[in-house]
Structure 1
Amino acid sequence: MRTALRIWVLVCLLGLKLLPAVANHLVGGEMTYKYLDSNGPVSTPFRYEITTRIYYNTATSPTGNPTLTINVRTLEAGQAVLVRTVIQRNSYAEITPIRLPSCAPTNAPGVTLAVYQTTVSLPGVPLGYLAEFSLGNRNAGITNLRDPLNERMGLSVEMAPPMLPNSSPAFSSDALVVICRADTGLVLNNAYDADGDRLSYSFGTPYSQGGTSVSYAPGYNPTQPFGNRGYAAIDARSGLAKYWSAELGTFLLAIDVREYRMVNGREILLGRLRRDIQIVVRECADNNLAPVFAPATLARREVLAAEGQTATFELTATDPEARRLTMEVTSVLLDGPGPIQATVNGRPGSPIGPLMGVRVRGQGSVTGTFQITPSCGMARPAPYDIIVTVADSACESKMVVGVFRLRIVRPASGLRIRGDSVLCVGTAVTYTANGPTFGAYSWTVRGGQVQGDATGRSVQVLWPPAAGKGSVAVRGVLEASCLTDTVAHPVEVQAEPAISGPAAYCLAANTGLSYSVAGPAGAYQWSISGGSITSGQGTNSVQVDITKGLTATLQVARAASPTCRTTLSIGPDDRCLAFYNVITPNGDGQNDVFQIDNLARHPNTKLTIFNRWGRRVYQTEDYQNAYSGDGSSSGVYYYLCQLQDGTSYKGWFEIIR
């Protein structure tokens, strides 16, 4: 497989036609932005820096346009333009071809890169903004467009709202490449993100103006930019694209980069960055083979490094024809004199295109040893990209491209948290970090409140008076205040199980009382004092007997949290009537009258007494525990007790003289 030709070597081979019309000159470009601050005017306080990079045909526009007009509107549909501004060109530079001494010269034009930058002040909006411009016209000779001479170039970038401060991704290479006809070309469209957000790459539709698609020539479209005899695919994670074309020419494509961020536990789309690029397909006379990465290098495309610990890995490539090789390693981690301790072969990096990097050369093979000691705070969910290109020194230079991903994490703590994970509402619990000893600890609690110091090996947490879920987490504090990874301990705060059943009993009905709790049938343990559990132990429903006249204490707890108990006191009910069944009217003060306990709780109680033959011997409309059997002989008698609410009781008693 052959790979993409180096841009600064083969820009000279572009098939861009030399035309006198200076209006037809646009090769590609992109827009990026950076949120600055909220120090703008009162009505438009939010300041954004917007940068536009445009590639021009040097032959028709050697310095690029001196000015550029951009519009900024909200992302809400149908909204008017918030800002329209004219930007002065900040800089321009020709991408100068570099030829080997043995390579034939060429008169084809180069490409000029012009940069435009401005700061705009915007009002606050909830959905974000869209910065856009349209410029005319594109360069001649674009094979897959119907009429490139009259086709404008429209570019835009979606900007996150000010409540999500952000800088858009920035591409790590320029927007023009050359591949060989009938040979697979590998082209890197990688971008880097200063905020560490996740990026996703895809092909888009090039625009003319106002979000309108360009007009494709017959047989071409955004998904088939090389027609039905070509092939285009892009890796969504790295931006590495594969192109193949059976046709010579210049082909327009668009690369979309979507930026995602985790906010409150949910990944949201921050915005989209679009780049227009041109792929030049030409005939390659030299059949030299491309360099290849060593198997050991390919085996470590994903590398893990911990803060405060040094990680080293080798990047090696060889050339099948033993040609001289040049390796370029670029990454935001290679920041030269900056604070990041990263090097390749001991060198911290110098400018290479938009990024910093290190060049390494070798004959037949080349190796770059990447070494990094991440400092505190570098850990993040998104990996850091390390872009490696290796090119040979042939006139028809070939290269191999790789994106290696370095994920920086916090060091493992080796800690374990000891303490209750299931507990009652309103409980104070002590949690301890077991394992290695650190100079200090950093505790965080969700759903509870730390009591006292949160930097020691143990911490006390007061859980709320309401049921719910929470967690306790701890990290060890290393030298230079670096933190280890987080060890979390989930906590479930449970309300005591509520007991359903009577809290009082009648003296005549002190057995077979039923009590229950809501929950699984087999998850509870019961206990009682002043009585006994007759059935249902271990379930969510029991029957109990109470010792007559006593106040019993019934308790229940979940088997999973035996310390989280509910207590119910069950006492005699002073509203219950209790009828004595004997009278001994002998004046000794014991059983001298027909006694009904708790009668005072039921005024105007009617009592009728009958003898064994059914004859009424006594009746009153408001019984006061006064019937002593006067005029009645010994024997059995029957009563009818009627309460004012209509409740009736029947029974018997015996008079013994």
Structure 2
Amino acid sequence: MKLPLPRRVSWLLVGLVLSILASLGVTPTAHASHLRAGDIQAKSDTTLPVSSRNPRRIFFKMVLYTDNATSSVDEKEVTIFFGDGTCPPGGFKVPRTTLRQVAPGTQINVYYFEHTYNAPGSYLVSYIGELRNAGVLNMSDSNSQTFYISTRVTIAPELNINRSPVLNAPAYDRAGVNQVWLHNPAASDADGDSLVFELRPSQQVAGGVPGTVDIDKCQPRPTVTNNYVFPHLTPPRGVQVPYLNDPGGGQSTFTQDRRTGQIVWNAPNRVGLYNFAFAVLEYRRTGTGPARLIGEVIRDMQILVEPTNNLRPTITIPQDLCVIAGTPITASVTATDPNNDRITLAAFGGIFPPATFVQNATGPPQASGTFRWTPQCTDVASDPYTVVFKADDIPPSGTVLIDEKAWRITVVGPPPQNLGVRGEGNTAILTWDRYTCSNASRILIYRKEGPSTFTPGPCETGIPASSGFVQVGSVPVGTDIFRDDRGGLGLERGKNYCYRIYAEFPRPKGGASIASAEVCLNLQGRSAVLTNVTVDRTDATNGAITVRWTKPFSQSGFLPPVGYRLLRSVGTAAPTVVFTTNNLDELSFVDTGINTLANTFTYRLEFFSNAVAGPGSAVLTETSTASSVRLEGTADVSNPNLNRITLNWTYTVPWNNALRPTTIYRRDPAPGSPFVQVGTVTGTATGGTFVDQGTTALPLRKGQVYCYYVETNGTYSNPDIPDPLLNKSQEKCIALNTVPCPPVLTLVQTNCDSLAALPSFPAPNQVYSNKLRWTLGNTPADCSREIAYYRILYRETPEGALVAIDSVTQPSYVDRLDRDRPNRPGKATFAGCYAIQAVDAVGNRSALSNIECKDNCLFFVLPNIFTPNADQRNDTFRPKVASPIRRTRFQAFNRWGVKVYESDQKPLIDWEGTSNATEGQAGVKLTEGVYYYIAEVEFADFNSTKRTYKGWVEITR
């Protein structure tokens, strides 16, 4: 009785039969070889009205290039796999929509179809064709291998409409031997998603359509085609020819630029057909986070390399361009040919139509064409559009050669027009013309105090931080007015506020406009602003700070009630009111009983008045915030010839402390010494630094305490505000301590020879220890010999960080290495490196001592006899003497050379004279007699030294 073969095996046999037939020149007509290239495009439902769109309905277009010169197969119907598990009998059949001849022996087949998915998700839509055309050189038996392409689609509510990348350049091309081959797929994405390109090998599906439908339930299992290599690796491998800045001569290359998609093969050296694939990865920017991968199109492409004596033409294109939406673009493209052949020019890209390209002349001497496009508001995008121009020469005979270049056009939004500003109380009212691009998402408003010198370049969108402007708000694009009241605080009178705006466009295309012209508003009058926060007294409990401010002024006066509130905060704590008055002539407050020694204080002045006369009026509040100057310092005594103290101070103030120098004052240690000026330095907007090194006549001395304060000199650069604004920091005293002298370390070394000569080593429970002793050095010359204790630092190897493991008061130490220490577990080894650091009574540390290292010895001696008779004496085979071991691989052999035992689990071997254990059974005792061994030992020294020991041992029971 005959049993049926499993279905998968049946299909494998079918594939084998097809391969045999193909090798004999017999090709079954049902699966004739004819497929050259192709790809699949996808887009979500864009039907109108919008309310009837189904987000799970996806439309597809597949383009196949077929060989009709050597095959009569007509691909009228294809089978598509939608990647969602749906699988009708025979698979989904899709009829061909159009067929046209594009080159001798090559046709384009176009198929349109759609599919509605049951749920959101990621789906791989694919096509399996049977079979590839014959003669592809970079795979074996191409006419017996299937053709596979795919496109991944993502259905997610947050993505809205999505259209896959479109590859506008043909997927079938020709090349010449020993000539650089160029190809750009001219990819475009209608949604403005970012595209990344990756080369991939061509793929197949072994079972073909029947196996995928009947066995794999419409889930294709693609693999790389048999014996595939990329075109440039097809033997014999060619060499490069001169191209651009490469003189040639190296091995041939085949590359694709990940950003532009440009493919360069330098250079084909063998006539014939080649296939390769590449993926176009589609990323969408949906917010401030990383872009999300939402799609992938895989194109499988074919190149026909032909013999030629022709030379490539050269095409010249415009420089990359940035253009404002609505501005017509007219550009000329030219090409010349070294053989004076006529030239055909073509252009590819996602903007055709409405963009046009018309060839005006074929040459010689020069071919030319004109590109025209007027980008619209809907074309504004953060990424440029790519137009690929291609020049094909027309030789009298032989192979056509090409040159191509990509032109990148960035479309930006027009600047908002007629921005104006007027004052209304303490508020600026901005108005502008309704923005011309209604597809923009919002208008961003920026403000700066005082005019700017910012002039946007032709492709400079938005407003850079370097211009000094800061964003103060945004409104929807249909809005043409904005009120700026400084977040409810009110603009400050007496200041000149300048504004610019620009438009931002929605993702995924993104993009922005050029900034508007600048407008400014000078608010008349004067605001109440803080002018001083100066420390009068430094004390932990009775410190004092004087705060001063200016009297506000308005030509129309202020409506009562009016007055000041002064609030104080310490660090990040919430502010509290410390002073209130309704007397507008009361312009200062002395804050006492505070800890100015340790704290920085921030003050906020609030001036309040009524907006309009009468009860129930809103209260207008103007605020000004400033902090005290905080001084810190550190002493540096590391250089014995130069002691110095570094001072740093910080502040947060509304006036400018960076235009004039800050003065530094110092009080010397002598009793009754006054503060005297020791220097000046110009600070920054937030602070400053000064290094005090004393003078040659009066150097800073160790063991002394120096006290400092600084006085900043600020200004509002406003003639209506008092000037200069002098503010003192708290006093800061810094001890210039003498550093301890550094230790000089000696590490007692091990006598390896004496250890190796011992009858046995290590003994049971051997304690490894290292003995350290040290003396104090004498650098720097004035270092202190008054030491409180010493820090012991250790590391296992000559390299790496030292870590503290202990501290002692005496100048010696014994490190028992079997005992755990902080940051270091105990171990049975001598190896390690040490350093010592001296510490005085106030915590000053010396420089590190010299670093001393000790490595493990290298010795390993095995006995010639052991007695495994369980008498607790000499029961295992182990070294008589051995320095620390990291690992030992031990093998034992009987007298006939048969391996009887092997193990690497115990560094000291500890063989019990048995054979190896097997699963579920202990090792068997070996008979008495002589056995031979090999011990491959890795020592636990710094270099992990490896040595092999060979010998014999007698087992006696």
Superposition pairs for residues 524-539 of structure 1, below 5 Å? 532-534=590-592, 536=596
- Alpha-carbon distance between aligned partners in 2 of 1:32 and 1:373, rounded to the nearest angstrom: 27
- Alpha-carbon distance between aligned partners in 1 of 2:473 and 2:406, rounded to the nearest angstrom: 44
Deviations 1:421-448 (A, max 9, x none): xxxxxxx9845559xx746697457997
Contact residue 175 and residue 277 of structure 1 kept, 8 A: yes
Structure 1 pair 199–430 and aligned structure 2 pair: CA distance change class (3 A): farther
Contact residue 525 and residue 556 of structure 1 kept, 8 A: no
Task: Give the corresponding residue for 1:606.
Answer: none
User: 1:112 aligned to 75, 92, 107, which one?
Assistant: 107
Superposition pairs for residues 72-111 of structure 1, below 5 Å? 72-73=82-83, 80-81=85-86, 85-97=92-104, 110-111=105-106
Matched, 1:557 2:625: yes
Matched, 1:265 2:265: no
Structure 1 pair 172–542 and aligned structure 2 pair: CA distance change class (3 A): closer
Mean Cα deviation higher: 224-233 or 167-176: 224-233
User: 1:399 aligned to 398, 402, 411, which one?
Assistant: 402
Structure 1 pair 91–557 and aligned structure 2 pair: CA distance change class (3 A): same
Contact residue 415 and residue 433 of structure 1 kept, 8 A: no
Superposition pairs for residues 163-202 of structure 1, below 5 Å? 163=157, 164=159, 165-202=161-198
User: 1:158 aligned to 142, 152, 155, which one?
Assistant: 152
How many Å apart are 1:225 and its aligned residue?
5.8
User: 2:274 aligned to 222, 245, 251, which one?
Assistant: 251
- Alpha-carbon distance between aligned partners in 2 of 1:511 and 1:556, rounded to the nearest angstrom: 26
Matched, 1:233 2:255: yes
Structure 1 pair 450–282 and aligned structure 2 pair: CA distance change class (3 A): closer
How many Å apart are 1:488 and its aligned residue?
13
Matched, 1:27 2:56: no
- Alpha-carbon distance between aligned partners in 2 of 1:417 and 1:145, rounded to the nearest angstrom: 69
Structure 1 pair 212–449 and aligned structure 2 pair: CA distance change class (3 A): closer
Structure 1 pair 556–538 and aligned structure 2 pair: CA distance change class (3 A): farther
Deviations 1:535-562 (A, max 9, x none): 749973399xxxxxxxxxxx99346686
Deviations 1:48-106 (A, max 9, x none): 111222222214544632221212225xxxxx448852111212223343xxxxxxxxx
- Alpha-carbon distance between aligned partners in 1 of 2:131 and 2:64, rounded to the nearest angstrom: 12
Contact residue 226 and residue 251 of structure 1 kept, 8 A: no
- Alpha-carbon distance between aligned partners in 2 of 1:62 and 1:277, rounded to the nearest angstrom: 21
How many Å apart are 1:213 and its aligned residue?
2.4
Contact residue 149 and residue 299 of structure 2 kept, 8 A: yes
- Alpha-carbon distance between aligned partners in 1 of 2:485 and 2:118, rounded to the nearest angstrom: 44
The two structures have a TM-score, normalised by structure 2, of 0.41
Structure 1 pair 411–288 and aligned structure 2 pair: CA distance change class (3 A): same
How many Å apart are 1:311 and its aligned residue?
3.4
Structure 1 pair 265–242 and aligned structure 2 pair: CA distance change class (3 A): same
Task: Give the corresponding residue for 1:49.
Answer: 59
Letter in 1 for 2:39: E
Matched, 1:474 2:496: no
- Alpha-carbon distance between aligned partners in 1 of 2:226 and 2:487, rounded to the nearest angstrom: 65
Superposition pairs for residues 642-657 of structure 1, below 5 Å? none
Letter in 2 for 1:30: D
Task: Give the corresponding residue for 1:408.
Answer: 411
Contact residue 87 and residue 116 of structure 1 kept, 8 A: yes
- Alpha-carbon distance between aligned partners in 2 of 1:306 and 1:408, rounded to the nearest angstrom: 6
Matched, 1:321 2:327: no
User: 2:135 aligned to 141, 146, 163, which one?
Assistant: 141
The two structures have a TM-score, normalised by structure 1, of 0.58
- Alpha-carbon distance between aligned partners in 2 of 1:462 and 1:147, rounded to the nearest angstrom: 75
Superposition pairs for residues 422-501 of structure 1, below 5 Å? 430-431=427-428, 438=433, 443=443, 454-456=479-481, 458-460=482-484, 463=487, 474-475=501-502, 484-485=513-514
How many Å apart are 1:464 and its aligned residue?
9.0
Structure 1 pair 113–556 and aligned structure 2 pair: CA distance change class (3 A): closer
SS at the partner of 2:363? Answer: strand
SS at the partner of 1:377? Answer: helix
How many Å apart are 1:334 and its aligned residue?
3.8
Contact residue 256 and residue 264 of structure 2 kept, 8 A: yes
Mean Cα deviation higher: 175-184 or 523-532: 523-532
SS at the partner of 1:167? Answer: coil
Contact residue 327 and residue 359 of structure 1 kept, 8 A: no
Give the number of equivalent residue pairs: 452
- Alpha-carbon distance between aligned partners in 1 of 2:100 and 2:334, rounded to the nearest angstrom: 33
How many Å apart are 1:247 and its aligned residue?
2.6
Task: Give the corresponding residue for 2:201.
Answer: 205
Contact residue 329 and residue 359 of structure 1 kept, 8 A: no
Task: Give the corresponding residue for 1:58.
Answer: 68
Letter in 2 for 1:381: S
- Alpha-carbon distance between aligned partners in 1 of 2:343 and 2:53, rounded to the nearest angstrom: 57
Letter in 2 for 1:409: V
SS at the partner of 2:143? Answer: helix
Contact residue 63 and residue 112 of structure 1 kept, 8 A: no
Structure 1 pair 217–531 and aligned structure 2 pair: CA distance change class (3 A): closer
Letter in 2 for 1:53: V
Task: Give the corresponding residue for 2:311.
Answer: 289
Task: Give the corresponding residue for 1:67.
Answer: 77
Deviations 1:158-210 (A, max 9, x none): 11214322111122122222212232211232222222222222211221123
Letter in 1 for 2:116: S
Structure 1 pair 232–226 and aligned structure 2 pair: CA distance change class (3 A): farther
Letter in 2 for 1:213: T
Letter in 1 for 2:569: V
Deviations 1:544-583 (A, max 9, x none): xxxxxxxxxxx993466869xxxxxxxxxxxxxxxxxxxx
Contact residue 415 and residue 503 of structure 2 kept, 8 A: no
Deviations 1:400-458 (A, max 9, x none): 111111111112459999999xxxxxxx9845559xx746697457997979x9413x4
- Alpha-carbon distance between aligned partners in 2 of 1:525 and 1:485, rounded to the nearest angstrom: 46
SS at the partner of 1:128? Answer: strand
- Alpha-carbon distance between aligned partners in 2 of 1:314 and 1:43, rounded to the nearest angstrom: 42
Contact residue 257 and residue 274 of structure 1 kept, 8 A: yes
Deviations 1:603-651 (A, max 9, x none): xxxxxxxxxxxxxxxxxxxxxxxxxxxxxxxxxxxxxxxxxxxxxxxxx
How many Å apart are 1:142 and its aligned residue?
1.5
User: 2:303 aligned to 254, 279, 286, which one?
Assistant: 279
Task: Give the corresponding residue for 1:579.
Answer: none
* Structure 1, gaps ≥5 residues long: 1-16, 75-79, 98-109, 348-357, 421-427, 466-471, 490-509, 544-554, 564-657
Structure 1 pair 212–128 and aligned structure 2 pair: CA distance change class (3 A): closer
Contact residue 450 and residue 462 of structure 1 kept, 8 A: no
Contact residue 186 and residue 348 of structure 2 kept, 8 A: no
Task: Give the corresponding residue for 2:327.
Answer: 309
Contact residue 415 and residue 516 of structure 2 kept, 8 A: no
SS at the partner of 1:320? Answer: coil
Task: Give the corresponding residue for 1:378.
Answer: 379
Superposition pairs for residues 357-372 of structure 1, below 5 Å? 360-372=361-373
- Alpha-carbon distance between aligned partners in 1 of 2:512 and 2:195, rounded to the nearest angstrom: 27
Letter in 2 for 1:275: R
Higher relative contact order (CA 8 A, sep 6+): 1
How many Å apart are 1:120 and its aligned residue?
0.8
How many Å apart are 1:35 and its aligned residue?
0.8
